[in-house]
């Protein structure tokens, strides 16, 4: 999932979280430990924070579909192309507060989903046109002077307007319910009609850009691995899947692949954007793993793209496509996990002829209650004949299971938001201890990655939000990097 946060005495889990005050040191791990725990190498690790940064891009780097350096005043113009998924964004740079500008998506028949700026009344508005009728869904008066940028983003069916007056993008208006009641951009046949669009009246634009939406933050890191758990490497780089936080809740996030230098994980580069096609809709399912098995990619993800309580489950597909590059629309199916509860955050690894498959099991999503579980199978197909091994149902805010091999031993790591620590389980389900590592806000997933120079990185995230006053819950987080001492 994407973490949880305490709100008015309750716990809301799933997307982002507010950057809540640090309640103090982690609670003591009172679970029994087998003898000789101190001899296990994983408990000799001490990890310290080495860096923290915020990936935030309106248009995804490397996925720009439209770029014009100079635009003269004109009626609504349509680009030759539109977005592959309902996760799109764009911007126009204006020399000053005059004229009228509209940016967004439109069809040849005249339908559109636009953000509009009018200097006459100093207003930004959100509008949708369908069947010959234009509806203004929201409007807000804003004060701008001098050059500025007008931005727009569609994340699923949520339309957002942003301004940049020199200090970065700031969201000023957003709306989902009213947009979705008029047009469902998730529908494949509907989205295919829309193209990037813009118009300017009484003013020229210095730049128009558009493409797939980027991110307001990153969460749910999972190392891309070969089936035996070793990092998948290409041209000296490792890969991570990340959930890109969107401009809203669960449904506004989507899934991506990033490469990084294993000697310096700050050197991260967005490589691929992955979306799910199911029931005729393109969705931003996320929080999963990619595993290389022979000449195929095993893709496992979680159905957050159209989340409602009681619906969340793990999904999967196999493909020979190069999912580490470009844009992919993946047709997934439900994974037959041995549980009657909700499920997310799949993690899989095969050693000695046995697939270990970890996931989060959730008896309730209203209120949220969730814990790590482990299953296994000796079949070649990792989804076949899965048998339950254990479920840590004494934990209630614990997710982000990671299978990691360290010094010849495979462990299941997780993140306990209540205890504020990273419990470590063996493959029989015994809680053997916890990682010696700082615990940021939210429910940070403990992705350990070997450092070629020695020691281990821990790549995770926190609950720092973006534009929370306008966008609400769902926009975290900072990337947090640790290294073993």
pLDDT at 52: 98
| CA torsion, ordered 394, 399, 405, 409, to nearest 10 deg | 0
The answer to whether 83 and 64 are in contact (CB under 8 A) is no
Give the tens place of pLDDT for each residue, 251-307.
999 999 999 999 999 999 999 999 999 999 999 999 999 999 999 999 999 999 999
Reply yes or no on whether the pLDDT at 391 is more than 50: yes
pLDDT at 147: 92
Look at strands 286-293 and 296-302 and give their pairing: antiparallel
Pairing verdict, β 225-226 and 286-293: parallel
The residues spanned by each domain of the chain are 4-56+217-484, 58-214
336-389 confidence digits (pLDDT tens)? 999 999 999 999 999 999 999 999 999 999 999 999 999 999 999 999 999 999
Mind listing the pLDDT tens digit for each residue in 186-234? 999 999 999 999 999 888 788 899 999 999 999 999 999 999 999 999 9
Nearest to 401 by CA among 368, 377, 375, 378: 375
State the Cα–Cα distance between residues 459 and 448, nearest whole angstrom. Answer: 7
Residue 309 sits at the vertex; the CA angle it makes with 308 and 311, to the nearest 5 degrees, is 70
Among residues 49, 33, 46, 27, which one has the least CA distance to residue 420?
A: 27
Please tell me the pTM assigned to this model.
0.91
CA atoms within 13 A on the CB side of 45: 28
**Average pLDDT over every residue of 70-74:** 83
Backbone angles phi, psi at 433, to 5 degrees: 155, -150
Confidence category of residue 17, pLDDT binned at 50, 70, 90: very low
Question: Strand runs (DSSP E) across 107-191, as ranges?
Answer: 112-118, 123-130, 133-141, 148-155, 158-164, 170-175
pLDDT over threshold 80, residue 34:
no
Instruction: Provide the 3-class DSSP secondary structure of residue 337.
Output: coil
- 3-class secondary-structure state, position 277: strand
By C-alpha distance, which of 302, 333, 296, 295 is closest to 318? Answer: 296
Within 8 A by CB and 6+ apart from 352, the residues are: none
* pLDDT tens-digit readout, 396-438: 999 999 999 999 999 999 999 999 999 999 999 999 999 999 9
Task: Quote the pLDDT of residue 36.
Answer: 42
Helix, strand, or coil here: 178?
helix
Write down the CATH number for the domain with range 58-214: 2.60.120.560
Domain 4-56+217-484: what homologous superfamily? Glycosyl hydrolase domain; family 43 (2.115.10.20)
Neighbours of 143 (CB within 10 A): 7
CA distance 216 to 379: 40
* Beta pairing partners, 158: 155
């Amino acid at each position: 999932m994407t973490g949880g946060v305490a709100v008015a005495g309750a716990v809301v889990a799933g997307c982002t979280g507010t950057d809540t005050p640090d309640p103090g040191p982690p609670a003591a791990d009172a679970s029994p430990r087998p003898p000789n725990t101190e001899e296990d190498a994983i408990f000799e690790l001490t990890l310290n924070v080495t860096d923290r940064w915020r990936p935030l891009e309106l248009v995804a780097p490397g996925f720009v579909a439209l770029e014009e350096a100079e635009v003269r005043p004109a009626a609504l113009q349509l680009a030759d192309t539109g977005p592959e998924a309902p996760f799109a964004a764009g911007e126009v740079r204006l020399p000053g507060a005059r004229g009228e500008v509209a940016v967004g998506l439109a069809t040849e028949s005249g339908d559109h989903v636009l953000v509009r700026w009018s200097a006459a009344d100093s207003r930004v508005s959100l509008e949708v046109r369908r069947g010959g009728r234009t509806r203004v869904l929201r409007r807000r008066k804003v004060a701008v002077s001098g050059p500025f940028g007008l931005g727009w983003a569609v994340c699923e069916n949520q339309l957002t307007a942003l301004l940049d007056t020199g200090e970065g993008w700031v969201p000023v208006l957003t709306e989902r319910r009213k947009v979705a009641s008029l047009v469902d951009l998730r529908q494949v046949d509907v989205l295919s009609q829309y193209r990037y669009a813009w118009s300017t009246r009484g003013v020229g634009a210095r730049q128009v850009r558009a493409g797939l939406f980027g991110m307001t933050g990153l969460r749910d890191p999972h190392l891309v691995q070969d089936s035996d758990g070793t990092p998948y490497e290409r041209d000296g780089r490792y890969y991570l899947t990340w959930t890109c936080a969107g401009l809203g809740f669960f449904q506004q996030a989507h899934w991506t692949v990033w490469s990084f230098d294993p000697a310096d994980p700050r050197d991260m580069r967005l490589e691929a954007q992955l979306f799910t096609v199911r029931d005729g809709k393109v969705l931003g399912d996320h929080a999963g793993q990619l595993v290389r098995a022979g000449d195929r990619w095993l893709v496992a993800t979680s159905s957050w793209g159209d989340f409602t309580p009681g619906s969340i489950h793990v999904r999967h597909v196999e493909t020979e496509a190069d999912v580490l590059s470009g844009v992919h629309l993946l047709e997934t199916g439900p994974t037959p996990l041995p549980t009657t509860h909700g499920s997310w955050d799949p993690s899989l690894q095969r050693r000695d002829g046995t697939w270990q498959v970890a996931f989060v099991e959730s008896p309730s999503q209203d209120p949220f209650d969730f814990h790590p579980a482990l299953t296994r199978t000796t079949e070649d197909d990792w989804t076949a004949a899965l048998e339950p091994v254990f479920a840590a149902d004494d934990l209630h805010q614990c997710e982000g299971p990671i299978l990691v091999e360290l010094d010849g031993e495979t462990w299941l790591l997780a993140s306990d938001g209540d205890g504020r620590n990273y419990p470590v389980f063996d493959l029989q389900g015994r809680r053997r201890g916890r990682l010696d590592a700082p615990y940021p806000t939210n429910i940070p997933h403990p992705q350990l990655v070997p450092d070629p120079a020695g020691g281990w990185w821990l790549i995770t995230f926190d609950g720092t939000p973006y534009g929370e006053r306008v966008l609400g819950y769902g926009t975290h987080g900072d990337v947090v990097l640790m290294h073993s001492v």
